Amino acid sequence: MPKVLVSDKLSPTAVKIFSDRGIDVDVKTGLKPDELMAIIGDYDGLAVRSETKVTAAVLEKATNLKVVGRAGIGVDNIDIPAATQRGVVVMNTPYGNAITTAEHTIAMMFSLARQIPLANASTHAGKWEKNRFMGVELFNKVLGLIGCGNIGSIVAERAVALRMRVIAFDPYLSPERALDLGVEKVELDDLIARADFITLHTPLTEKTRGILNADAIARMKKGVRLINCARGGLIDEAALKAALESGHVAGAALDVFTAEPAKENILFGMDNVVCTPHLGASTSEAQENVALQVADQISDYLLTGAVTNALNMAAVTAEEAPRLRPYMKLCEQLGSFTGQITESSLKAVTIEYLGDVAHLNTKPLTAVVLQGLLSPLLESVNMINAPLIARERDIEVRETKSENSSNFHSLIRVQVTTERQTRSVEGSLFGGALPRLVRINDIPVEAELAPTMLYVVNEDKPGFIGRVGTVLSEAGVNIASFHLGRETVGGRAICLVNVDTEITAPLLEKVAALPNVVMAKALAF
Ligand SMILES: NC(=O)c1ccc[n+]([C@@H]2O[C@H](COP(=O)([O-])OP(=O)(O)OC[C@H]3O[C@@H](n4cnc5c(N)ncnc54)[C@H](O)[C@@H]3O)[C@@H](O)[C@H]2O)c1
Ligand SMILES: O=C(O)[C@H](O)COP(=O)(O)O
């Protein structure tokens, strides 16, 4: 039974879903890094929010871990490259808290415009300072959105309804989408110069870190108000403090901070700053949504292989997963066979999906071919990091599909080009489930791949089979099955022998030295 650890505060719905689906679940929140590292090796899945830091050091100890699920959007607390390297799928729940966070942004904008937090404190203190709190309307003001994805778009819709004039900077916002939302797509400089209110809705990346720095702030309208419910670090806090003190920026509302938990911050205590402790996603509805989604996604992956909302792997639906399973095995074997017989550096791989398989989601199949292909050549390759490794090594990966597959319902052809040559291997599923190699280069064959195999390329001459059999039997190696194929009578031929024990190097040398043998290799699957 798979085991999952919930290490941040999640709605109890998550635990119920894991238990109902037959997954062992432990809830241990507030763990220190060394405490997490001490126990993480026991778990197949980890469910987190933003508090648990899933670092490379934690992943190193996570020897059984298959999936990390983030109940929320931002994944900056998870070392995705390290997870990818270790074959751990990282998933988030990209929509579950988007409305809630957009509503928090709007609430922060109103709070700033009408100084509600300060007025509230003053009124509670019995001061009745009616003349102190003069606000501004949102109506007809220019709202500049930096980032117009899920949350930015929802903020835009709400702001348009408030009759604000909404402009947005987002390099990935299409003109059609902007039109649909009723926002004007602009460049960052334009937004900075025109906006009365600016809200941020991007992840924190190398490009967005400090996107509102001293220079950007200096170019804003005097009296601008800034709202950040995305990530600390998008606004330079020291530059903001200076601009708030000078009055250039009239106010700022911040849910997120450069260092969190933010027990101290240079902006704390300023009258024109409204703060909340990273509450953007904190509504009962959003927490219910993300807990339910993350538990279902983690369970689906652990129980069926379905992949939803992964950041480092292609999606696989629950319906696709069982149909893909036998092809995954075949693809791994085709990749592994090709990888084991490849001796010079790889330049390109083409994977052709022919017949019924062409209608399936082939992205994960290609990832598995690459895993099989690269595993004999490199350490620690898995289907999650294999596409990345291929890219990093400039191996061109092509995928083609066609409905025609000659004599087979489905046929997968893997063609590999190295510095020296191009070779191809074809495979199919017999009876819809059993992987078989059906062609190696131009030679038809029908071979089941077994854990230990001998692969020989030879000239098709009488006596060859007997000689191989004799050499193997003299070495005490039992033959389980023998598969032959040849180009033409007397031409190039191949033989694949499934054997019950290891083929040692001296034995392989003996086979290679037999008459008419062109090449001999020991293979393992
Ligand atoms: N405060 C909270 O509790 C809370 C809750 C949820 C999400 N968030 C944060 O809000 C952010 C946005 O979430 P989302 O769901 O809208 O994500 P999203 O991926 O749907 O949208 C992000 C948008 O930012 C845009 N973008 C990326 N780089 C950019 C750049 N350099 N300049 C301009 N735009 C850029 C992208 O094109 C995308 O449209 C995330 O960082 C997330 O972590 C915070
Ligand atoms: O990225 C997110 O989803 C938000 O920052 C929410 O974070 P939280 O789950 O820690 O509240």
Query: What value does the mean pLDDT take over residues 489-515?
Result: 92
Same domain, 161 and 261: yes
Same domain, 425 and 326: yes
Q: pLDDT value at position 69? A: 98
Q: pLDDT value at position 74? A: 94
Residue with tokens 């074809």: 426
- Closest-CA residue to 495 (of 446, 448, 457): 457
> Which residues are identified as catalytic?
231, 260, 278
In a domain, 61, yes or no: yes
Which strand (E) or helix (H) includes residue 507? Answer: helix 505-512
Q: How confident is the model at residue 376 (pLDDT cuts 50, 70, 90)?
A: confident
Q: pLDDT value at position 342? A: 87
Q: pLDDT value at position 211? A: 98
Taking the mean position of all CA atoms in its chain, how far away is CA 240?
34
Q: Residue 281 Cα, ligand 2 centroid: separation in angstroms?
A: 6
For residue 454, the domain's CATH number is 3.30.70.260
* Whether the Cβ atoms of residue 18 and residue 295 lie closer than 8 Å to each other: yes
Of 97, 99, 155, 170, the residue with max ligand 1 atoms within 8 A of its CB, to mutate for a pocket test, comes to 170
In a domain, 296, yes or no: yes
Same domain, 358 and 503: no
Q: What count of other Cβ atoms lies within 10 Å of the Cβ of residue 265?
A: 18
Residue with tokens 């405490």: 35
Strand, coil or helix: what is 420?
coil
In a domain, 209, yes or no: yes
Q: pLDDT value at position 454? A: 95
Of 97, 104, 290, the residue with max ligand 2 atoms within 8 A of its CB, to mutate for a pocket test, comes to 97
Q: Residue 297 Cα, ligand 1 centroid: separation in angstroms?
A: 21
CA distance 252 to 240: 8
Q: How confident is the model at residue 165 (pLDDT cuts 50, 70, 90)?
A: very high
Q: pLDDT value at position 420? A: 84
In a domain, 280, yes or no: no
CA distance 309 to 90: 8
Q: Is the pLDDT of residue 270 over 90?
A: yes
Q: pLDDT value at position 96? A: 95
Same domain, 230 and 332: no
97 lines ligand 1 (CB under 6 A): yes
50 lines ligand 2 (CB under 6 A): yes
Residue with the smallest CA separation from ligand 2 atom 1 is 74
Task: Tell me the per-residue pLDDT of 429-482, one tens digit each, with 9 for 90 and over.
Answer: 998 889 999 999 989 999 999 899 999 999 998 888 899 999 999 999 999 989
Kind of pairing, strands 184-185 and 443-447? Answer: unpaired
Same domain, 16 and 58: yes
Q: How many domains does the chain have?
A: 4
Taking the mean position of all CA atoms in its chain, how far away is CA 524?
30
From residue 63, alpha-carbon distances to 44, 57, 123, 401, 480 in Å are 9, 12, 56, 36, 35
In a domain, 49, yes or no: yes
Ligand 2 atom closest to the CA of 51, numbered from 1: 10
Residue with the smallest CA separation from ligand 2 atom 5 is 74
Instruction: Evaluate the CA torsion angle 510, 511, 514, 516 in order and state its sign.
Output: negative
In a domain, 312, yes or no: no
Q: Measure the N-to-C terminal CA separation of the chain; round to a whole number of Å.
A: 26
Same domain, 426 and 466: no
Task: Tell me the per-residue pLDDT of 224-263, one tens digit each, with 9 for 90 and over.
Answer: 999 999 999 999 999 999 999 999 999 999 999 999 999 9
CA distance 262 to 100: 21
Q: How confident is the model at residue 163 (pLDDT cuts 50, 70, 90)?
A: very high
74 lines ligand 2 (CB under 6 A): yes
Q: pLDDT value at position 411? A: 95
Strand, coil or helix: what is 84?
helix
141 lines ligand 2 (CB under 6 A): no
Same domain, 144 and 213: yes
Of 101, 153, 189, 254, the residue with max ligand 1 atoms within 8 A of its CB, to mutate for a pocket test, comes to 101
E runs forming strands in 34-161: 45-48, 67-70, 89-91, 142-146
Q: Is the pLDDT of residue 406 over 80?
A: no
Kind of pairing, strands 452-459 and 434-440? Answer: unpaired
Task: Tell me the per-residue pLDDT of 204-221, one tens digit each, with 9 for 90 and over.
Answer: 988 999 999 999 999 999
Q: Residue 287 Cα, ligand 2 centroid: separation in angstroms?
A: 10
* Whether the Cβ atoms of residue 491 and residue 460 lie closer than 8 Å to each other: yes
Q: Residue 72 Cα, ligand 2 centroid: separation in angstroms?
A: 5
- Closest-CA residue to 455 (of 404, 508, 403): 508
Q: Residue 228 Cα, ligand 2 centroid: separation in angstroms?
A: 13
Q: Residue 203 Cα, ligand 1 centroid: separation in angstroms?
A: 4
Burial of 150 (0-12, 13-18, 19+ CB in 10 A): middle
Question: What is the overall mean pLDDT for the chain?
Answer: 95
Residue with the smallest CA separation from ligand 1 atom 37 is 172
Residue with the smallest CA separation from ligand 1 atom 21 is 149
The two three-digit tokens of residue 48, written as one number: 């987190």
Same domain, 51 and 178: no
Same domain, 122 and 224: yes
350 lines ligand 1 (CB under 6 A): no
Kind of pairing, strands 479-486 and 346-355? Answer: unpaired
Helices 150-161 and 98-114: crossing angle in degrees, nearest 10, is 50
Same domain, 67 and 167: no
In a domain, 100, yes or no: no
73 lines ligand 1 (CB under 6 A): yes
Q: pLDDT value at position 445? A: 93
Q: pLDDT value at position 344? A: 81
Burial of 284 (0-12, 13-18, 19+ CB in 10 A): exposed
Ligand nearest to the CA of 185: 1
Q: Residue 230 Cα, ligand 2 centroid: separation in angstroms?
A: 9
Q: Residue 71 Cα, ligand 2 centroid: separation in angstroms?
A: 8
In a domain, 194, yes or no: yes
Same domain, 437 and 453: no
Of 202, 209, 213, the residue with max ligand 1 atoms within 8 A of its CB, to mutate for a pocket test, comes to 202
Amino acid at 143: L
Q: pLDDT value at position 419? A: 84
Ligand nearest to the CA of 280: 1
The two three-digit tokens of residue 517, written as one number: 């043998």
CA distance 341 to 487: 19
Which strand (E) or helix (H) includes residue 512? Answer: helix 505-512
For residue 52, the domain's CATH number is 3.40.50.720
The two three-digit tokens of residue 456, written as one number: 């020989």
- Closest-CA residue to 368 (of 405, 321, 409, 311): 321
Q: Is the pLDDT of residue 70 over 90?
A: yes
Task: Tell me the per-residue pLDDT of 315-371, one tens digit each, with 9 for 90 and over.
Answer: 999 889 999 999 999 999 999 999 998 888 899 999 999 999 999 999 999 999 999
Same domain, 223 and 252: yes
199 lines ligand 2 (CB under 6 A): no
Q: Is the pLDDT of residue 379 over 80?
A: no
The range of the structural domain enclosing residue 146 comes to 116-271
